[in-house]
Every structure is written in C-alpha cells, then in structure tokens.
C-alpha cells in the first residue's frame, strides 16, 4: 500500500476481532516504531507491550473500559522516559561524536521538572504516528488513545517513576468499519 492510501485508510478502530497478530508481522511494526525520528535522536520512549488477557483486563477499567483494550492483539503503552542521560550515554557508546554528546548533555541538563517530561512526551507522539500509519501499511488496525489514567496504568504495570505512560496504541484486526473522515478544509489548515 502506498503512503497516501495508508493515511486515508487508517482510522481509529473502536473494536478488534481478538485475532492475534503473527509475531513476524508484529516484529515488522516494532521496526517501524523504533525508527521514528526524535529531537537529537535521544529516543526518550519505552513501549510496554501487553498481550496477556489478565493484564488487559486489569487495565481496562483505567481506560474507561474502552473495548479496544481487551479486544486488541497487542496493547502498546507508549511511555516517555525522563532519564535522558541514560539514552545519551547509549548514543555515546554507539559512536555519537563527543561534541554532539556534550551538546545533548547540556540540552538535557537545561530541561528541568515538568519541561523534561513534556519534551519527552512530544517525542513519544512521533513514535505513535509511526505506529498508527505503520500498522495500516502492514495490514493491521490501530487506535491512538489518551483516554486512560497514566497513574493507574503505571501502578498496574509496576513502572518505575521515570517511565511515564503517555498514550496507548492497541493493535490488531478491526471488527468495526471506518466512518467518513471529518477534517477541516485545506484553506483553514494552511494559511
């Protein structure tokens, strides 16, 4: 499928048919997500993959019992990782030039408190974009979701404080049908 078709055919799926996505296909999707762009290439994301029914059931009430949570194949919990220094160290080990590493450390030091989380979360949404379009390109369906309690998800998934649930992306095979897209006109969007 060409990218324009991917964008036009992707839609926010409300219910999945429960069928499991084969491991090789999911691995392809993981590659598309992992290769998302991020500022400085710091990649401040960790993505918890939930496939077992018991955990999905435990999470559902903390997402308004939206049916996507329990009917999907793989529930991706996109988390922002605020330990930026660890990622910068990994980039240094991977061969990033010394000057660039120093610039990244300076940048990270300047990001304090809420600004650090907000910055990391902005990057997470780029990975989410790859997930929803990547899924469609691979013949899968998805739904970007913010209707959940990040605090309760962190508790159920026993996440450390630096891994902050930011957005969800259930993946699977839709059992509903897309509705016509409602989008503002080009003249409004572009000025």
Ligand X SMILES: Cc1cc2nc3c(=O)[nH]c(=O)nc-3n(C[C@H](O)[C@H](O)[C@H](O)COP(=O)(O)O)c2cc1C
The stretch near ligand X (CB under 6 A) out of 10-18, 73-81, 90-98, 169-177 is: 10-18
Residue from the set 167, 169, 170, 174 that interacts with ligand X by CB under 6 A: 167
Asked whether position 11 contacts ligand X by CB under 6 A, the answer is yes
Residue from the set 181, 185, 186, 191 that interacts with ligand X by CB under 6 A: 181
Quote the CA–CA distance of 184 and 37 in Å, as a whole number.
27
Quote the CA–CA distance of 27 and 107 in Å, as a whole number.
33
Residue from the set 143, 163, 164, 171 that interacts with ligand X by CB under 6 A: 143
Nearer to ligand X by C-beta: 147 or 160?
147
Tokens for 64?
Answer: 């308004």
Quote the CA–CA distance of 71 and 134 in Å, as a whole number.
20
Asked whether position 162 contacts ligand X by CB under 6 A, the answer is no
Residue from the set 66, 133, 149, 162 that interacts with ligand X by CB under 6 A: 66
What is the footprint of ligand X within residues 74-133 (CB under 6 A)?
Answer: none
Quote the CA–CA distance of 132 and 33 in Å, as a whole number.
9
Nearer to ligand X by C-beta: 87 or 130?
130
Quote the CA–CA distance of 133 and 30 in Å, as a whole number.
12
Quote the CA–CA distance of 182 and 159 in Å, as a whole number.
37
Q: Largest Cα–Cα distance of the chain, in whole Å?
A: 51
Residues contacting ligand X: total by CB under 6 A: 11
Contact residues: ligand X, CB under 6 A: 11-12, 14, 66, 143-147, 167, 181
């Amino acid at each position: 499928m060409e990218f324009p078709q991917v964008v036009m055919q992707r839609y926010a799926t409300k219910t999945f048919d429960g069928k499991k996505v084969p491991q090789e296909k999911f691995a392809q999707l993981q590659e598309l997500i992992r290769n998302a762009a991020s500022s400085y290439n710091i990649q401040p994301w960790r993505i918890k993959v939930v496939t077992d029914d018991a955990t999905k059931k435990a999470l559902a009430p903390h997402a308004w019992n939206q049916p996507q949570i329990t009917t999907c194949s793989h529930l991706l919990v996109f988390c922002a990782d605020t330990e930026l220094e660890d990622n910068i160290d990994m980039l240094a080990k991977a061969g990033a030039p010394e000057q660039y590493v120093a610039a990244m450390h300076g940048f990270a030091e300047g990001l304090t408190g809420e600004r650090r989380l907000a910055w990391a979360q902005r990057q997470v949404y780029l990975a989410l974009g790859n997930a929803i379009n990547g899924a469609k390109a691979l013949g899968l369906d998805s739904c970007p979701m913010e209707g959940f309690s990040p605090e309760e998800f962190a508790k159920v998934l026993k996440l450390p404080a630096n891994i902050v649930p930011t957005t969800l992306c259930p993946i699977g095979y839709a059992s509903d049908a897309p509705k016509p897209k409602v989008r503002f006109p080009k003249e409004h969007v572009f000025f």
